[in-house]
Amino acid sequence: MKPDVIIVGGGLIGLASAWKSRIKGMAVTVVDPHFGKGTSHVAAGMLAPVTEAHYGEEEVVRINSASAAMYPSFVEELEEASSQQVGYRDTGTLVVAGDPSDRAALTELVEFHQSLGLDSEWIAPTEARRLEPSLAPSIAGAILAQGDHQVDNRRLISALIEANRRAGTELITGSVKEFEVSKDKLKGVLLDNGARLESDNFLLAAGVWSNTIPGIPEPVQPTVRPVKGQSARLHFTSASHSQGAIFPRYTLRALVKGVHVYMVPRESGEMVLGATMEERGFDTSVTAGGLYELLRNARQIFPGITELELSETIAGLRPATPGNLPLLGASGIPGLTIATGHGRNGVLLTPLTAEVISDYLTKGELSWVLEVCSTDRYKQDAQSG
């Protein structure tokens, strides 16, 4: 029997949309060559509507804030459905200024945050170090964003796979080789093992790979491009402790001579250090220079990092769009819905995306989010320009 929807892509966006659509009554199949091992696996798990707010991106801030507000109940429901914990942590975030020029940029940023009504305040170096004793004495102050939280993205993937299994979603490990479009309607997908899957509805949620699968006419393909991020995972060990290192409690972000770096400390003693922003196509190599720059800038504000054990280096590809809003909703081809282009905010936008996409697939409901993130916004821009 044909499923009600076939989802191409088993990262956080595909898996969460599958789970929500299944709960709302659809028969769902998800296809992915390596479930949860793409961008979602490399991510750091910051839930940061404030500290990811960029000038001129008010609509991105609006959807990020809406999804952040959904996180506690999303996590509660998912942990119950999967019997797994996902490491949601509501300790806030500090954005630290490395030197006086970074302080000038960050104090301006606080004003921008406050103009949008976001919870953001400037704190002096002594106050920042009182809150977070792991910070270097040389810091020049910090932004405190109490509402920017974190989740363990790898545990989130695992819980979503389990919740889908329990709910009866079909998870097929395989690569989609081609979309079969006939008479301007998407009819099926061909897999690399020769299998053909049919449905009346497809959701394309393959992140940065969403426009690499043949068969979808060029004007309908989502305008995503890969933006590489190199990162590392480190661990606080008993040796780190005996060397006097203090493990941070807050998520630490910093501007160091104008360059951004972040460190996300987990309850387990793991720390995610990230991340570069590089336009290098599909290259996922980790370079000495990339890692050196991250560690050098991180050490400037958290000197104890040099005592942590380095356990993993990895690079991932963010699915970026012009304007940094995701692409959500109807594609222009009947039967094909799109959910991709989440850029730096895929983990954060998972609950909101899953909710609006599953409402659209099950009831045809068009929320304000689908209007803001419409896939034809470039055509509208072109017409009005």
Binding site for ligand GLY (CB under 6 A): 44, 46, 229, 274-275, 318, 344
Could you tell me the smallest distance in angstroms from the CB atom of residue 308 to ligand GLY?
Answer: 19
Specify the residue, 19 or 262, whose C-beta has the smaller distance to ligand GLY: 262
51-64 CB burial, b ≥16 within 10 A, e <16? bbbeeeeeebbbbb
- Tell me if 205 sits within 8 A of 14, measured CB to CB: yes
Specify the residue, 51 or 375, whose C-beta has the smaller distance to ligand GLY: 51
Could you tell me the smallest distance in angstroms from the CB atom of residue 53 to ligand GLY?
Answer: 12
Rg for the chain (alpha carbons), in Å? 21
Specify the residue, 66 or 294, whose C-beta has the smaller distance to ligand GLY: 294
Specify the residue, 186 or 224, whose C-beta has the smaller distance to ligand GLY: 224
- Tell me if 11 sits within 8 A of 156, measured CB to CB: no
Specify the residue, 32 or 148, whose C-beta has the smaller distance to ligand GLY: 148
Could you tell me the smallest distance in angstroms from the CB atom of residue 318 to ligand GLY?
Answer: 5
Residues contacting 156, CB < 8 A, separation 6+: 12, 40, 45, 78, 86, 87, 347, 350
Specify the residue, 148 or 359, whose C-beta has the smaller distance to ligand GLY: 148
Could you tell me the smallest distance in angstroms from the CB atom of residue 317 to ligand GLY?
Answer: 10
Going by the DSSP 8-state scheme, the letter that residue 281 receives in this structure is: T
Q: Where are the alpha helices (DSSP H) in the chain?
A: 12-23, 39-42, 58-82, 100-115, 125-131, 153-167, 238-242, 288-301, 350-363, 368-372, 377-384
Could you tell me the smallest distance in angstroms from the CB atom of residue 39 to ligand GLY?
Answer: 9
Could you tell me the smallest distance in angstroms from the CB atom of residue 6 to ligand GLY?
Answer: 28
- CA 197 to each of CA 145, 173, 298: distance values in angstroms, whole numbers, following the listed order: 46, 13, 48
Could you tell me the smallest distance in angstroms from the CB atom of residue 19 to ligand GLY?
Answer: 22
- Tell me if 147 sits within 8 A of 161, measured CB to CB: no
Could you tell me the smallest distance in angstroms from the CB atom of residue 311 to ligand GLY?
Answer: 19
Tokens for 294?
Answer: 């991250």
By C-alpha distance, which of 171, 157, 178 is closest to 31? 171
Could you tell me the smallest distance in angstroms from the CB atom of residue 231 to ligand GLY?
Answer: 7
CB atoms within 10 A of CB 279: 10
Alpha-carbon torsion, ordered 102, 108, 112, 118, to 10 deg: 70
By C-alpha distance, which of 253, 330, 244, 241 is closest to 92? 253
CB atoms within 10 A of CB 257: 10
Specify the residue, 199 or 340, whose C-beta has the smaller distance to ligand GLY: 340
What is the chain's length?
385
Only one residue has tokens 């949008």, namely 116
Tokens for 231?
Answer: 């990162």
Specify the residue, 129 or 225, whose C-beta has the smaller distance to ligand GLY: 225
Specify the residue, 54 or 185, whose C-beta has the smaller distance to ligand GLY: 54
Specify the residue, 39 or 201, whose C-beta has the smaller distance to ligand GLY: 39
Could you tell me the smallest distance in angstroms from the CB atom of residue 63 to ligand GLY?
Answer: 14
φ, ψ dihedrals at 190, nearest 5°: -100, 135
